[in-house]
């Protein structure tokens, strides 16, 4: 067990898990004793990538013990998305591609935030800056994260930097980028075997927007209607979670990765604000979000503006 932990956000997606692995390897090469961990269960998509590149999943933690001296954050910065006892530890560094909110430290730190589609795109640049070679397995995991976060370059968050990094990493990993990418994305769309709780929380983040706590989850599918057959079950559970966890509003984004469209399930107070944010009507807890695939770029900013404006 290392005295420095590196981790992504709670309800970790592929970028959160693999950026912890890739950044830990980098830091270890630089002489630090760093261990990657995950703040939640590994998704099927992420597990597919880990298995494909013969990598053991990081151990799962919710709190760090007294043996830990400091932490490093990747793919997030907001404390409500982080380790439960994050305020007990010195934060040595942050590498992220999200908004900066509710974040402060007592001392200076390394902070790297860039407006790209994936945290691993930034980490790949840091490898190059230090002149450290990326091993084949790590390259495959970093590639997997870029594919996941950009939906194989279909997301509006995708930049030319992400595409260039993905091409280089695919060569190092010795895989066909698009063939591997589609298999990995489809591995994460099997929702039939998942519980309603897993669907709501599998890739969910909490955001402070004005005086509201908004929970936004996202699930990728190839058939939206198949998941909407469980709509009543999901709404009932979301209502219970709102009360139990103190969420004012839960928004579950059901994203069709083939058609690049989303249907949202809206549960809680502030439905009128959601309608205003997207200029769409909520009918029976359901809202159409055509062309929306990115929570970070297409959902969080308009919702934040609506709730804070």
Beta bridge partners of 141: none
CB atoms within 10 A of CB 292: 23
Residue numbers in the known binding site are 9, 13, 15, 75, 97, 149
Beta bridge partners of 94: 73, 111
Among 156, 164, 180, which Cα is nearest to 255's? 156
User: Rounded to whole angstroms, how far apart are CA atoms 3 and 103?
Assistant: 23
- Say what angle helices 136-150 and 160-173 make with each other, to 10 degrees: 150
Residue matched to tokens 């402070």: 208
- Environment class of 53 (CB within 10 Å of its CB; exposed 0-12, middle 13-18, buried 19+): buried
User: Rounded to whole angstroms, how far apart are CA atoms 251 and 271?
Assistant: 10
Residue numbers in the known binding site for Mn(2+) are 9, 13, 15, 75, 97, 149
């Amino acid at each position: 067990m290392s005295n420095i932990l590196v981790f992504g956000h709670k309800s970790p997606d592929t970028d959160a898990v693999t950026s912890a692995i890739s950044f830990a390897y980098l830091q270890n090469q630089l002489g630090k004793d760093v261990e990657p961990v995950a703040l939640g269960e590994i998704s099927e998509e992420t597990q597919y990538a880990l298995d494909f590149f013969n990598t053991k999943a990081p151990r799962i933690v919710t709190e760090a013990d007294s043996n830990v001296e400091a932490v490093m954050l990747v793919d997030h910065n907001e404390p409500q998305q982080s380790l439960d006892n994050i305020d007990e530890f010195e934060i040595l560094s942050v590498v992220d591609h999200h908004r900066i909110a509710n974040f402060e430290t007592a001392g200076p730190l390394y902070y790297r935030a860039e407006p790209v589609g994936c945290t691993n795109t930034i980490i790949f640049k840091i490898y190059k800056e230090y002149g450290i070679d990326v091993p084949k397995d790590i390259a495959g995991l970093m590639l997997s994260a870029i594919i996941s976060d950009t939906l194989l370059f279909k997301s509006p968050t995708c930049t030319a930097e992400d595409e260039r990094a993905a091409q280089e990493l695919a060569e190092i990993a010795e895989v066909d980028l698009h063939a591997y990418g589609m298999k990995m994305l489809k591995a994460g769309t099997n929702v039939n075997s998942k519980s309603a709780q897993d669907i709501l929380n599998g890739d969910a983040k909490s955001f402070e927007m004005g005086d509201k706590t908004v929970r936004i989850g996202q699930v990728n599918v190839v058939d939206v209607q198949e998941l909407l057959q469980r709509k009543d079950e999901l709404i009932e559970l979301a209502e219970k979670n709102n009360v139990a966890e103190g969420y004012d509003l839960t928004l579950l984004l059901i994203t069709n990765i083939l058609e690049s469209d989303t249907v949202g399930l809206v549960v809680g107070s502030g439905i009128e604000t959601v309608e205003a944010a997207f200029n769409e009507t909520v009918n029976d807890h359901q809202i159409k979000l055509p062309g929306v695939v990115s929570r970070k770029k297409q959902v969080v900013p308009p919702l934040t503006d609506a709730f804070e404006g």
